[in-house]
């Protein structure tokens, strides 16, 4: 049996969502729990396009086993017209076998996103990502306003989950509030998973 871990599963095209994933993983690890970073391959309109089985750089591609065996899930995507990116949706569309067996029921989960514009659909993207988690019976977590950075942020940050404003060129780095919220989210997810896993007397 594997040690408990939080799966930080994301798609990132320009690196901002990947950086958020790393900060969330750092928050998870601050609780002493393992964070497992995984990504998904891009999808193509060309039917013959095939991605290598191992990416050239960054996190490994996620498998259904990664998802099945996780203790909790952080799911991240850049915004695409107010919705999650197609590669992540494609991966989630292939999780019916886990839904049929109820493998994810009762596990804590939450979502995160990055946009190039400040009002570019962050909240609708986060909400769109929550829908499959609810269908899987997962326990949805957000960010409470007891996190001071949520009240002070001038960039990203929502009660639905961490977010980041990457700027029009996609190169704006995470600011101190966005980093704080990513780490707080990772800690909250891991500590909730630990409480749910604790033996009851």
In the chain, where the domains are located: 5-40+54-197
- pLDDT computed for residue 54 by the predictor: 77
- pLDDT computed for residue 47 by the predictor: 67
Residue 5 in tokens? 């871990």
Q: What are phi and psi of 39, to 5 degrees?
A: -125, -175
Locus of tokens 């997810």? 189
- pLDDT computed for residue 45 by the predictor: 75
d(CA 123, CA 104): 24
In angstroms and rounded to an integer, the radius of gyration of the C-alpha atoms of the chain is: 16
d(CA 24, CA 42): 22
Residue of 182, 130, 124, 190 whose CA lies nearest to 153: 182
- pLDDT computed for residue 46 by the predictor: 72
Which parts of the chain register pLDDT below 70? 1, 47-51, 200-201
Q: pTM of this prediction?
A: 0.94
- pLDDT computed for residue 6 by the predictor: 98
- Is 168 strand, coil or helix? coil
Residue 120 in tokens? 């570019």
d(CA 35, CA 145): 24
- pLDDT computed for residue 1 by the predictor: 59
pLDDT digits 0-9 by tens, 83-116: 999 999 999 999 999 999 999 999 999 999 999 9
Question: Residue 75: beta bridge partners?
Answer: 9, 111
Domain 5-40+54-197, CATH among 3.40.1350.10, 1.20.120.430, 3.40.50.300, 3.40.50.360: 3.40.50.360
- pLDDT computed for residue 170 by the predictor: 87
- pLDDT computed for residue 128 by the predictor: 96
- pLDDT computed for residue 149 by the predictor: 96
């Amino acid at each position: 049996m594997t040690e408990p871990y939080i799966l930080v599963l994301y798609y990132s095209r320009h690196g901002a969502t990947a950086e958020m994933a790393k900060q969330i993983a750092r928050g998870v690890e601050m609780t002493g729990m393992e964070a497992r970073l995984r990504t998904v391959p891009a999808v193509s309109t060309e039917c013959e396009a095939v991605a290598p089985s191992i990416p050239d750089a960054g996190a490994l591609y996620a498998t259904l086993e990664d998802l099945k065996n996780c203790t909790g899930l952080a799911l991240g995507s850049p915004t695409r017209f107010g919705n999650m990116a197609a590669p992540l949706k494609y991966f989630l569309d292939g999780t019916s076998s886990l839904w049929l067996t109820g493998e994810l029921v009762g596990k804590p989960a939450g979502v995160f996103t990055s946009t190039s514009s400040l009002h570019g659909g962050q909240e609708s993207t986060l909400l769109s990502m929550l829908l499959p988690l609810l269908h899987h019976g997962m326990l949805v977590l957000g960010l409470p306003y007891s996190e001071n950075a949520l009240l002070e942020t001038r960039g990203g940050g929502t009660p639905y989950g961490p977010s980041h404003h990457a700027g029009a060129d996609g190169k704006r780095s995470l600011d101190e509030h966005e980093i704080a919220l990513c780490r707080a989210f990772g800690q909250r997810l891991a500590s909730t998973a630990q409480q749910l896993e604790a033996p009851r007397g």
